Chains A and B, each alone.
Chain A
Amino acid sequence: MLKRLLGKLAASVRNPRSGPLSAYRAETGRSMSAHRAQVAENYAGRTNPFAYYERLLDGLLDTENLTILPLCEMTEGSPAGTRVFGLRHDVDADPEMALRAARALARRGMAGSFYLLHTAPYYGEFHGEVFVRNPLLPEWVRALIVAGCEIGLHNDALGVYQTHGRDGIAALRTEIAWLRSLGAVIRGTVAHNSAPAYGAENYEIFRGRGLWRREVPGPGGRPLPLGAVSEKRLGLAYEGTFAVPREDLDPAAAAAFCADAAAANVRSRGWMQRYLLDNPYCRWDVDVQFWLVGPDVWVIAGRVGRQTLWEWEVPLARVLERVAGLPKGTRSVMLLHPVYVRGA
């Protein structure tokens, strides 16, 4: 059964080196204005105005006994009497809106964590054997440093293997070192995508973060080097999805969930409930997660004590109500993609 599932999984994963020749694709290099237009087209109908993000921040500021920390400071539990809250920003598509968000936080003296996606078009592109970074990137990084937010890498090491057929660990190591050379203090990463995209979670590249023992085929049929790199040796202190392997993991169920790439969709109620609440391969080392997934559309999922929280497609007002009602001693994360607050 497991073998069959793994076979399916292998077929579902794009592998440019193992199949027939990839189709020839050509496009003209993009300026930032063209990139903005493309992002606007891709996310049409899914965004909120930026003022919505500011309303969120002001709402959190008005919430009593809420300690908002960067994710790098959330690893040591919650100080007594407070509720710890992290604002995780996955910068998948829109670095300019990420900067705007970081500045809105700075204006309010609030912490936020921003993870730059090293495989995103705004970050860079492969040209033959060379990965060429966007020349605007250093200025964005410096601006984020001045804004005072936490900067991390949105880890897509497996994407580098599976989509580009390149060494994902080298990419991770190189980009972390490069961001540090610009002056950024990089303490952690957050995995991009979910296991159904590549057959494994991006954080499984790190030693000790494997979900269960298995081989996941990578480029050329060679297995992906899961667990092959030490976070400590990369100078990393945490992984910001806060996922931990389930002690009661059922490999078949986990593999089946991983193999079903077609179902994996943040706008699918069933999949999101499974992923956030009843995930067959991991549990979460945070109490509640709040995900912004569309125009005033949130998903709330988590467990506090014996209480299970699950709310689908709720508005900001409900989110703030839930945040205000979190018990003391809890640790929660809000997942925000700056691209979702780029609306006019």
Chain B
Amino acid sequence: MTYPSTVFFIVASARSGSTSLARILDTAANGTCAVEPMPNLNRETRLAMDGCLADPMAVVRQTIVPRVQQQEGDVYGEKNVTYGPFIPHLHQALGCRFVFLTRDGRDVVRSLVNWHEQKFGTIYRECRDPGHLSPQALKSAASLPVHQDTSDYARPRPRPGDPLYGAWEHLGRDEMCAYYWSRLNDLYLDRLADLPDDASMRINYTSPTADDVLRVAAFCGLTGLREGVVRKMLDRRINSLSDREAPDGLYPDWKDWDGGRRRRFDRLAAATMQRLGYYTDPATRWRPATYGQWWREHDGGLDWYRWMYNSRRKMHEDFIAWVRARERAGEPIESLADFGCGLGVGYADAFADKRYVGVELSEKNVAWCRENRDNPNHAYLCRDFVAEPFDEPADVVFSSGTVDNTYDMDACLRSMVLSARKWIYATFYRGWFPHLREHRYAWRPEHHCFYNDASPRRLRDTLEALGCEAVCVEPVPTGNTDVPFETRVTARVPAKRT
């Protein structure tokens, strides 16, 4: 009996690219990498995750160890998505290495849902929404009774005592997949952390390069892989829907998720996204690297901002009148903060007698204001006000036609509330969308900003959840024909604790 000198396992969540990596590594000259060899521990992994498997080591010794011992060649590897609970036992029994392959959870959720709808129809079969199944997927589901479907059984579910246990049957498939991705990756992270550092390496397969794959090959002791071949195999998108001759799915790319999808995903998977480094900002979830570049680079100058102001003059005048009305009603407004102030057109003059702080993402605009606007009671700050609440609370924090260009409208409102002493006031220039249950986000890479449609219901829910009172979300006539109504939000913020 020969025994490979090096044994490795690729561990990952499903739809992360592990089949692609395994196929590429299998082209090595001195070893093999098997894709989901049987028995694949589908049942055992669920039992282990549920705490119902008495002796995981016995399972490993009876199934995987004999299979490894039968292999010839210097290096032997396997990929399976079910080995999470068995990592310490595999390491103890075989002294093996682990390649921990990760992919952005949002991409995995999309891939799983599309895989279900276009190909197999069998992912989280208990989900209340069967999904928009292709004929191929429906036929596949009908031909695989659930008691024989060990792949779906292998996916984790909340156990009694878990806060999600009762809510599970009400979740959508995307939420179940987010739970799956999060639970599995947390399991891998936890188990691998208990092994020596040199026993595992991680590869981020969200956008893998040939270099990434060659580093994995070196870690596994595999030789003979050629960069050009690796690159071609990566380009083939092995095991994607198109590779498996199925139509592309309908589930949207995460960059086009509406606010509901983003919130549902984050509720279940944000902590793991942060653990894996896919989220770097704890306050907000989605900030493209080039976000805001347009404002930073745009060189329209004062004329352009005047034109912008005049194009929505009524909305601006409405706000100024609202401030005056509050004062007439006996509520002094001494300070205002303007989120997305541009060059301060209109407001710097309207609020000349007050403390006015313009906040801008564009350093160029802030520099221009500091140089050209000399009211000693006014100040201009450069910061991403979505993520960073204002540290000089103002009586009123307002934003005119900017929130709908930000990467997270709810986070922007939250930041406004945290920065205000009395009121927030925001107008949304894109229009009034009373039918939307969730915010609709659309990233335009050519403009490096978002063009979002705000859901009135979600705006209200967000503000009420923040403790605001007198929340008013309403359509306001613009007098224009292209956008006859804008959305206006006013809310009294909760008193700040001192």
Chain A interfacial positions (CB closer than 8 Å to B): 68-70, 100, 103-107, 109-111, 139, 142-143, 145-150, 183-185
Contacts of A111 in B (CB 8 A): 145-147
In contact, B126 and A106 (Cβ under 8 angstroms): yes
B130–A148 touching, CB < 8 Å = no
A109 and B149 contacting across the interface, CB-CB below 8 Å? yes
Pairwise interchain contact B149-A146, C-beta atoms closer than 8 A: no
B99-130 CB contact bits vs A (8 Å, 1 = yes)? 00000000000000000000001100111101
Report the nearest A residue to B116, measured CB to CB: A146
Q: If the complex has contacts A107-B157, A148-B122, are A185 and B143 also in contact, measured as CB distance less than 8 A?
A: yes
A109-B46, A109-B149, A145-B141 given; 15 more Cβ-contact pairs under 8 Å: A70-B145, A70-B147, A100-B169, A103-B125, A103-B169, A106-B152, A107-B157, A109-B147, A142-B138, A143-B130, A145-B121, A146-B122, A146-B127, A146-B133, A183-B141
Q: In whole Å, how far is B192's beta carbon from the nearest beta carbon of chain A? A: 28
Residue numbers in A under 8 Å from B138 (CB-CB): 142, 145-146, 183
B53 contacts partner chain A, Cβ-Cβ < 8 Å: no
Whole-angstrom distance between the Cβ of A64 and the nearest chain B Cβ: 12
Q: Which residue from chain A places its CB closest to the CB of B139 in the assembled complex?
A: A183
Contact of A69 with B147 at beta-carbon distance under 8 Å, contacts A109-B153, A142-B133 already known: yes
Residue B367 CB within 8 A of the other chain: no
Report B134-190 residues with CB < 8 Å from chain A CB: 135, 138-139, 141-147, 149-150, 152-153, 157, 168-169
Q: A106, B142: Cβ atoms under 8 Å?
A: no
Closest to B128 in A: A103
State A68–B131 Cα separation when bound (angstroms).
27
CA distance A68 to B148 in the complex (A): 11
- A58: nearest chain-B partner, CB-CB: B160
With A103-B128, A107-B126, A142-B130 known to touch, is A148 a contact of B146 (CB < 8 Å)?
yes
* A100 contacts across to B, CB distance below 8 A: 169
Question: Could you tell me how many residues of chain B have their Cβ less than 8 Å away from some Cβ of chain A?
Answer: 27
Q: Which residues of A contact B130 (CB under 8 A)?
A: 139, 142-143, 145-147
Give the docked Cα–Cα distance between A185 and B128 (Å).
21
Query: Which single residue of chain A is at the shortest CB-CB distance from B137?
Result: A146
On whether the beta carbons of A110 and B126 are closer than 8 Å, the reply is no
Neighbouring A residues of B169 by C-beta, 8 Å? 100, 103-104, 107
The distance from the CB of B194 to the nearest CB of chain A, in whole angstroms, is: 29
Contact of A146 among B141, B143, B150, B153 (CB under 8 A): B141
Also in contact, A150 and B145, with CB within 8 A (given A109-B153, A142-B138, A183-B139): yes
- Asked whether, in the complex, the Cβ of A183 is within 8 Å of the Cβ of B142, the reply is yes
Question: Residue on B with the closest CB to A99?
Answer: B128
**Across-interface contacts of A106 in B (CB, < 8 A):** 125-126, 146, 152
Bound CA–CA A105/B149 (angstroms): 12
Q: Would you give the shortest CB distance from B336 to chain A, in whole angstroms?
A: 50
Sample 6 A-B pairs with CB under 8 A, ordered by A number: A100-B169, A107-B157, A107-B169, A109-B146, A111-B146, A149-B145
The minimal Cβ–Cβ distance linking B170 to chain A, given in whole angstroms, is 11
B122 to A: closest C-beta gap in Å: 7
Set of chain B residues within 8 Å of A150, measured between Cβ atoms:
145
Q: How far is the CA of A146 from the CA of B122 in the complex (A)?
A: 6
The CB with the most chain B CB atoms within 10 A, among A105, A109, A147, is that of A109
Going nearest first, the 6 A-B pairs with the smallest beta carbon separation are A148-B146, A111-B147, A109-B153, A106-B126, A103-B126, A146-B130
Contact yes or no, A149 B133, CB < 8 A: no
CB-nearest residue of chain A relative to B135? A183
List B contacts of A148 (CB < 8 A).
Answer: 122, 125, 141, 144-147, 149, 152
Q: A186–B17 Cα gap in the complex (Å)?
A: 37
Contact B147 A146 (CB under 8 A): no
**Do the beta carbons of B126 and A104 come within 8 Å of each other?**
yes
Beta-carbon contact of B142 and A110 below 8 Å:
no
Q: Which residues of B contact A103 (CB under 8 A)?
A: 125-128, 169
Complex Cα distance A189/B127, Å?
26
Question: Which residues of chain A have C-beta atoms less than 8 A from B133's C-beta?
Answer: 142, 146
Could you say which residues of chain A place their CB within 8 Å of the CB of B121? 145-146
